[in-house]
């Protein structure tokens, strides 16, 4: 299977698993379940669950066993977007080419929808089978720490606090590590753990995920600056408007692109011990560097 | 130990466990960790964690082993209050006699603080040791379901939707079951599970928790109507002001009190198989019926 087919087939498997897992839209309270589905089935890239599956593959595992964890990381991502888009946070009207959750369902339901997606992420993790090396509590610690106050949520706090302030390169890296790289790394780690990966393999994949996450965010910063709202499906040019520190602002466009290429190479280097088994992870990494949306 | 001493000693153990578990206020991002501690250490009754410990005791368990789960249910409760108090939800300025989280830290941080407390609840659950009968995934399913879209969060949605509408007795019971009884029941169940309770014991405690939760909410409705804001530490008379369906509104004050007494008796009946081992659960139940705040 080439990368395009793997991406399609993985996204389909994840969508089907999410559809089986989430309560039907007609289950009471139906407005909440409808909102949850609106946010989850909105044509996103499904990057995190695909990374989870690709990491399981790289460790010789069975993709079906990685599906509950793949759903978990996508649900965490979906909840974080719903809450980040709220008027009291980034105040965004557009996400994936459609009105944001609070625009459609109101702020109260949007807050509760995010809460329900977050809770559902942990419920899905309970369906992950323990392996010889990794227990349910290990999965739980990984997901809770990556999503918690020092990583995903902490990153959003730092991001809110940095708006309009001059921050340096190391502070920018700290924000991106927490806000983006932690959950990407967790996605890869969880997939590998469902495949009973060794601690050594996990350590390599952690390096991979951290580099990939940073490179991903630099590209995001570049696209926010160079692409249109139509292409991105979310409001473009927001970083400049909100006077946000970004890689292009710190290093210039060329500097930022060079940095993304350098860090992508770090990510690829971390995959070396996996040889050809990591071909999807490798191809995906190269594709993310070249993406235009 | 009499009930007063048990309550004091349990609340102290839970507070100490939460203090060890939560990141120190000076850990970055400090505003978030400070907000989390502001909401958790606010002089609440700690009813849910105490129920968790008392249920472990009733099943012959070691209270120390029940502490991580006790922290989990308190953290879920704390997060739900923070989000329910938001302007886009119940819009409340006062909680436990102090300004609500968003009044002190702003709405953005309050949303993120609730998210972080919710995530921390699941992190704490990972520290619960599996028993012969119950695995980590069993604990996880219980907590995620009780806090999820069909129970705790679903109850808040139904509550929001019912404001200003005429609803009947059965709809009111459905809201209270979801919004209050589910997490109280989960608190008791998790405590019992850490003590390796049998499925039969869990079934009895589930009946107990559901009855207790309903009785607790009826008393809450009565107190909202009959007590002052000073005594309650939260805005009194809100239910009438927001034209909310309550037990006193449906059954009258005397009718509501009689209903609370009847349901409290159901709760006590469910404890019979535990004999004298359930003395704290029993005493606590009787005290909750008599409470004035």
Q: Cα Rg for chain B, rounded, in angstroms?
A: 18
The predicted pLDDT at position B229 comes to 81
pTM for this entry: 0.97
The predicted pLDDT at position A227 comes to 87
Positive or negative torsion for Cα A253, A254, A257, A258: negative
* DSSP secondary structure of B15-73: HHHHHHHSPPTTSSSHHHHHHHHHHHSS----HHHHHHHHHHHHTT--HHHHHHHHHHH
CATH superfamily assigned to domain A3-290: Farnesyl Diphosphate Synthase (1.10.600.10)
The predicted pLDDT at position B43 comes to 87
List all residues 6 or more positions away from B265 whose beta carbon is below 8 Å from its beta carbon: none
User: Is the pLDDT at A236 greater than 80, yes or no?
Assistant: no
Phi first, then psi: give them for residue A24, nearest 5 degrees. -55, 150
For B136, the closest of A23, A135, A144 (CB atoms) is: A135
Give the residue among B36, B38, B19 at the shortest CA–CA distance from B99: B38
In A, minimum Cα distance to B141 occurs at A123
Tell me whether A95 touches chain B (CB under 8 Å).
no
Interchain contact, B157 vs A29, CB within 8 Å:
yes
Long-range contacts (CB closer than 8 Å, 24 or more residues apart) made by A283-286:
A283/A2, A283/A3, A284/A3, A284/A7, A284/A50, A284/A51, A284/A54, A285/A212, A285/A215
For A83, the closest of B23, B115, B145 (CB atoms) is: B115
Tell me whether B164 touches chain A (CB under 8 Å).
no
Interchain contact, A148 vs B120, CB within 8 Å:
yes
Q: How far, in Å, CA of A24 to CA of B78, rounded?
A: 28
First to last CA, chain A: 24
Contacts of A140 in chain B (CB under 8 A): 122-123, 125-126, 136, 140
Interchain contact, A108 vs B89, CB within 8 Å:
yes
For A111, the closest of B33, B111, B149 (CB atoms) is: B111
Phi first, then psi: give them for residue A129, nearest 5 degrees. -75, 135
First to last CA, chain B: 24
Strand partners of residue B116: none
The predicted pLDDT at position A246 comes to 87
In A, minimum Cα distance to B36 occurs at A149
Give the residue among A162, A181, A166, A219 at the shortest CA–CA distance from A51: A181
* Contact (CB, 8 A) for A179 and A149: no
In B, minimum Cα distance to A143 occurs at B123
Tell me whether B161 touches chain A (CB under 8 Å).
yes
Span A170-179, average pLDDT:
93
Q: Which numeric CATH code is attached to B3-287?
A: 1.10.600.10
A245 or B248, higher pLDDT:
B248
pLDDT in tens, A101-129: 999 999 999 999 999 999 999 999 999 99
The predicted pLDDT at position B86 comes to 98
The predicted pLDDT at position B233 comes to 81
Q: What is the pLDDT along chain B (293 residues), one digit of tens a residue?
A: 899 999 999 999 999 999 999 999 999 999 999 999 999 999 888 999 999 999 999 999 999 999 999 999 999 999 999 999 999 999 999 998 899 999 999 999 999 999 999 999 999 999 999 999 999 999 999 999 999 999 999 999 998 888 888 888 899 999 999 999 999 999 999 999 999 999 999 999 999 999 999 999 999 999 988 888 887 787 777 777 777 778 998 899 999 999 999 999 999 999 999 999 999 999 999 999 998 87
Contacts of B18 in chain A (CB under 8 A): none
User: Is the pLDDT at A238 greater than 80, yes or no?
Assistant: no
* Contact (CB, 8 A) for B233 and B97: yes
Span A232-260, average pLDDT:
85
Interchain contact, A118 vs B119, CB within 8 Å:
yes
The answer, yes or no, to whether ipTM is higher than 0.90 is yes
For A116, the closest of B116, B143, B153 (CB atoms) is: B153
In B, minimum Cα distance to A35 occurs at B149
In A, minimum Cα distance to B28 occurs at A150
In B, minimum Cα distance to A160 occurs at B108
Interchain contact, A123 vs B148, CB within 8 Å:
yes
Q: In chain B, which among 60-79 make CB contacts under 8 A with chain A?
A: 79
Interchain contact, B153 vs A114, CB within 8 Å:
no
Mean pLDDT of chain A: 94
pLDDT in tens, A20-72: 999 999 999 999 999 999 999 998 889 999 999 999 999 999 999 999 999 99
With bands split at pLDDT 50, 70 and 90, how would you rate the model's confidence at A130? very high
Positive or negative torsion for Cα B33, B39, B41, B47: negative
A240 or B133, higher pLDDT:
B133
The predicted pLDDT at position B239 comes to 76
């Amino acid at each position: 299977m080439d990368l395009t087919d793997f991406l399609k087939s993985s996204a389909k498997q994840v969508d089907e698993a999410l559809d089986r897992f989430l309560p039907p839209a007609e289950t009471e309270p139906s407005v909440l379940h409808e909102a949850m589905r609106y946010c989850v089935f909105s044509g996103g890239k499904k990057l995190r669950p695909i990374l989870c599956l690709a990491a399981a593959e790289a460790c010789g595992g069975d993709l079906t066993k990685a599906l509950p964890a793949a759903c978990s990381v996508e649900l965490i991502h979906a909840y974080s977007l719903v809450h980040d888009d709220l008027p009291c946070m980034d105040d965004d009207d557009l996400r994936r080419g459609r009105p944001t959750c609070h625009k459609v369902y109101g702020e109260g339901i949007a807050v509760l929808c995010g809460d329900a997606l977050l809770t559902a992420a942990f419920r899905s993790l309970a369906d992950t089978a323990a392996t010889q090396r990794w227990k349910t509590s290990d999965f739980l610690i990984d997901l809770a720490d990556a999503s918690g106050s020092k990583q995903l949520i902490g990153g959003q706090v730092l991001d809110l606090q940095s708006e309009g302030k001059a921050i340096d390169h190391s502070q920018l890296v700290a924000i991106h590590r927490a806000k983006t790289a932690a959950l990407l790394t967790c996605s890869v780690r969880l997939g590998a753990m469902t495949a009973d990966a060794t601690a050594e393999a996990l350590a390599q994949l952690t390096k991979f995920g951290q580099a990939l996450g940073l490179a991903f965010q630099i590209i995001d910063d570049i696209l926010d600056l160079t692409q249109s709202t139509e292409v991105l499906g979310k409001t473009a040019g927001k970083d400049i408007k909100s006077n946000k520190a970004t890689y292009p602002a710190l290093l210039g466009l060329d500097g930022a692109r060079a940095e993304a290429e350098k860090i992508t190479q770090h990510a690829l280097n971390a995959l070396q011990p996996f040889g050809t088994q990591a071909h999807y992870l490798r191809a995906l990494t190269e594709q993310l560097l070249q993406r235009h949306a």
